[in-house]
């Protein structure tokens, strides 16, 4: 341990004595570690935000029937482009042929203008919902009450508004039972949804919920529906999705060889698709980091060979005084590892700095992961060890007599 500490002190003194040379030597390591720390922090921040968004929109205990599903190729996208619209008849088919399904919520959404007295808001997302929307956790009332299933079925002109809509239209006033205009049509506010926050700098509270029939009066009868489907039990998710597929094929009179002309999307499948994208980004990052580390390692090896050449007389003197080959080897190897680790530590600090700045000046979130720090610093230690082996072995093999002769 004492020998190790002495070697580290010698290495640090050598690095400090040649600050600029040392900085340029570990520049490759700094770039590599900065890249991996910054990108991993941003990806992990995105993972948390996107996971929460997908689970809030799709629900962890439900899935959606869409006109098209998740496409992974241009051919799949072309094939789904001509899929028919999802209709209420599809919902009836699912209810008829899928005993594992508990609830089905039909929805459609569009942008609209909201007005109350002299206040106006443009581009509010209006979602029309069917009566079973109360079975889904998508909307949580903070003030007031939900629209009852009977009111939805009777297409009452009632509305639940998001937090931002309530704040912009009413300010400090109580919005409940107030009459607002949506695209010029009167609706009475019965509830305010719980605040959802924002994602990537965009508010998640700029929305409103109205009965599906009232939505048709506003935007026309040609709906592009999405069906949220809830199994009777969470563990029945896959079985319910399989039953729904069969039900839709029967309802749409598809032949056995016909492809599915609809898409089923669960939060799990959406997250798998998202993670496949981020994994690809991470794979590219690993390639860039590996290249930077190899370049950095070669530079470190060259510098350590130069160090060995500069210290030939010193090494010869130490060997003449009784230093063993492993002592000489350990000293050079320790300096190589310490130099490489210094680059890793600087890169880690810069990586966190870049991620912090990105999170502050852009909508991108960032999350610091301890494992990324460990991986980043460990990689630089391994680089220092690997590329320091040859210079240290060369130093250990020096003949003390020949080394002392060199000036």
List pLDDT tens digits, range 286-328: 787 788 788 888 888 888 888 777 777 777 777 777 777 777 7
Closest listed residue to residue 344, CA positions, set 299, 381, 371: 381
Distance CA 281, CA 279 (A): 5
Instruction: Give the residue numbers spanning the domain of 115.
Output: 102-231
* 227 and 352 part of one domain: no
- Sorted by sequence, the CB contacts under 8 Å of residue 156 that are 6+ apart come out as 147, 211, 214
Distance CA 36, CA 169 (A): 45
- Sorted by sequence, the CB contacts under 8 Å of residue 303 that are 6+ apart come out as 21, 25, 339
92 part of a folded domain: no
* 215 and 331 part of one domain: no
pTM score, whole prediction:
0.68
- Residue 178 burial (CB < 10 Å; 0-12/13-18/19+)? middle
Domains in the chain, number: 2
144 part of a folded domain: yes
* 292 and 359 part of one domain: yes
* 106 and 38 part of one domain: no
153 part of a folded domain: yes
User: What DSSP state is assigned to residue 199?
Assistant: E
pLDDT at 11: 67
pLDDT at 148: 94
73 part of a folded domain: no
The sign one gets for the Cα dihedral 259, 264, 268, 272 is positive
pLDDT per residue, tens digit, the chain (407 aa), is: 565 666 667 667 777 777 777 777 778 788 888 888 887 887 777 777 777 666 666 566 788 898 887 766 666 677 677 888 998 999 999 999 989 999 999 999 999 999 998 899 998 999 999 999 888 888 889 999 999 999 999 999 999 999 999 999 998 899 999 999 999 999 999 999 998 877 766 788 899 999 999 999 999 877 889 998 988 887 788 899 899 999 999 999 988 888 888 888 877 777 777 777 777 777 777 787 788 788 888 888 888 888 777 777 777 777 777 777 777 787 778 888 888 888 888 888 888 888 888 777 777 777 777 777 888 888 888 888 888 888 888 877 777 666 666 65
Write 115-122 long-range contacts (CB < 8 A, 24+).
Answer: 115/169, 115/180, 115/181, 116/169, 116/170, 116/178, 116/180, 116/181, 119/168, 119/169, 121/165, 121/168, 121/169, 121/206
pLDDT at 296: 81
* 224 and 303 part of one domain: no
174 part of a folded domain: yes
φ, ψ of residue 254 in degrees (nearest 5): -85, 140
* 156 and 216 part of one domain: yes
């Amino acid at each position: 341990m004492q020998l190790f500490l002495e070697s580290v002190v010698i290495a640090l003194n050598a690095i400090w004595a040649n600050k600029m040379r040392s900085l340029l030597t570990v520049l490759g390591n700094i770039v590599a570690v900065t890249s991996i720390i910054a990108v991993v922090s941003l990806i992990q921040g995105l993972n948390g935000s996107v996971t929460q968004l997908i689970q809030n929109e799709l629900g962890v205990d439900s899935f959606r029937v869409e006109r098209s599903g998740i496409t992974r190729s241009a051919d799949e996208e072309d094939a789904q482009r001509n899929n028919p619209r999802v209709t209420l008849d599809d919902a009836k088919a699912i209810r008829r042929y899928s005993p594992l399904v508990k609830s089905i919520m039909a929805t459609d959404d569009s942008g609209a203008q909201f007005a109350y007295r002299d206040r106006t808001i443009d581009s509010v997302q209006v979602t029309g919902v069917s009566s079973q929307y109360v079975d889904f956790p998508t909307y949580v009332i903070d003030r007031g009450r939900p629209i009852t299933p009977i009111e939805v079925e009777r297409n009452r002109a009632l509305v639940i508004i998001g937090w931002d809509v309530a704040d912009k239209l009413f300010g400090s006033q109580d919005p409940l039972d107030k009459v607002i205009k949506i695209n010029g049509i009167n609706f009475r506010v019965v509830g305010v949804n719980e605040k959802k926050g924002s994602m990537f700098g965009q508010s998640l509270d700029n929305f409103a919920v109205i009965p599906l029939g009232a939505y048709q009066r506003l935007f026309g009868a040609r709906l592009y529906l999405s069906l949220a489907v809830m199994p009777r039990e969470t563990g029945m998710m896959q079985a319910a999705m399989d039953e729904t597929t069969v039900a839709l094929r029967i309802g749409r009179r598809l032949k056995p060889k016909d492809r599915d002309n609809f898409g089923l999307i669960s939060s799990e499948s959406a997250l798998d698709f998202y993670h496949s994208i981020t994994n690809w980004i991470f794979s590219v990052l690993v390639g860039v980091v590996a290249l930077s580390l190899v370049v950095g390692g070669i530079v470190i090896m060259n510098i350590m060979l130069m160090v060995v050449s500069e210290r030939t007389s010193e090494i010869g003197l130490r060997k003449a005084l009784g230093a063993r080959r492993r002592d000489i080897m350990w000293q050079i190897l320790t300096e190589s590892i310490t130099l490489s680790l210094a680059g890793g530590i600087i890169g880690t600090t810069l990586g966190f700095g870049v991620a912090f700045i990105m999170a502050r000046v852009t909508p991108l979130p960032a999350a610091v992961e301890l494992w990324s720090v460990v991986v980043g610093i460990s990689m630089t230690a391994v680089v220092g060890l690997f590329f320091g082996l040859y210079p240290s072995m060369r130093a250990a093999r020096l003949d003390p007599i020949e080394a002392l002769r060199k000036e």
